[in-house]
Structure 1
Amino acid sequence: MMTDVKETSGKPAADSTAGGTPGGAAAPVNAGTDAPEAAARIVAIRERIDEIDGLLIELWQERARLSQQIGATRLASGGTRLVLSREREILERFREALGADGTQLGLLILRAGRGPL
């Protein structure tokens, strides 16, 4: 489980639940800055990140289901559990697009669809 970490400058944090900023306006939660314009921009960007994360999760789950369907169809027809050339192709695509981290991501995606080796 990941948590949001807020770095502090040693100053007491404003109370974001009770309008803890000057003038009574509520401060954005965990923005990591006391500058209102920067905090508002951070909140807006985080909202988009959260949308993207939701889409990534949905796509991840859909891809895993499709991959599982392929595996079940292949096994039911007398085929092999895996097609290593296909896995290498996928890993290479991720590595080319994202570098070394892409290879790791590709491995996780493959595992989600076929299970551990």
Structure 2
Amino acid sequence: MMTDVAEQSGNTARSRAGDGRNAAPGFGTDEPAAAARIAAIRERIDEIDRTLIGLWQERAELSQQVGATRMASGGTRLVLSREREILERFRQALGADGTQLALLLLRAGRGPL
């Protein structure tokens, strides 16, 4: 998947340069209106990324607080049924990629097993 993104974003401008067209750097197109639209969309993507990063950090902190509270009260480090519930929620919503995302979220909150 990541190579697809790299090929679509970076190599398009280079391939167009070879056919005599002057693609706008970083946009993969020589059409000004399309480049402007891409720039606007990318601004929104960057906003979403900032939000996701903030939410990721907040979620990790909250998860760490849950774990610390549980362990301080004599509980277990992990509650596997809760982790399975989270994995299933993400899998149902996003498929196999959701499972991978959930695993990363869980690790951020509790650390590696």
* TM-score of the pair, normalised by structure 1: 0.81
The 2-side partners of 1:111 and 1:47 are apart by 29
1:5 — aligned with what?
A: 10
Which residue, 47, 57, 63 being the options, matches 1:61? 57
Residue 115 (structure 1) aligned with residue 111 (structure 2): yes
1:89 — aligned with what?
A: 85
Question: Kindly tell me: are residues 83 and 107 of structure 1, through their superposed partners in 2, closer, same or farther at Cα, counting changes over 3 Å?
Answer: same
| Aligned ranges 1:67-86 → 2 under 5 Å | 67-86=63-82
Which structure 1 segments of 5+ residues have no match?
Answer: 15-26
The 1-side partners of 2:11 and 2:28 are apart by 6
Q: How many percent identity over aligned positions?
A: 75
1:51-103 deviation digits (Å, cap 9, x = unpaired): 00000000000000000000000010000000000000000000000001000
The 2-side partners of 1:12 and 1:67 are apart by 51
| Aligned ranges 1:27-66 → 2 under 5 Å | 29-66=25-62
1:13 offset after TM fit, Å? 4.7
Which structure 2 segments of 5+ residues have no match?
Answer: 1-5
Aligned-residue Cα RMSD (Å) equals 1.7
Structure of greater Rg: 1
Letter in 2 for 1:86: R
CA contact (8 A) 1:6 1:31 kept: no
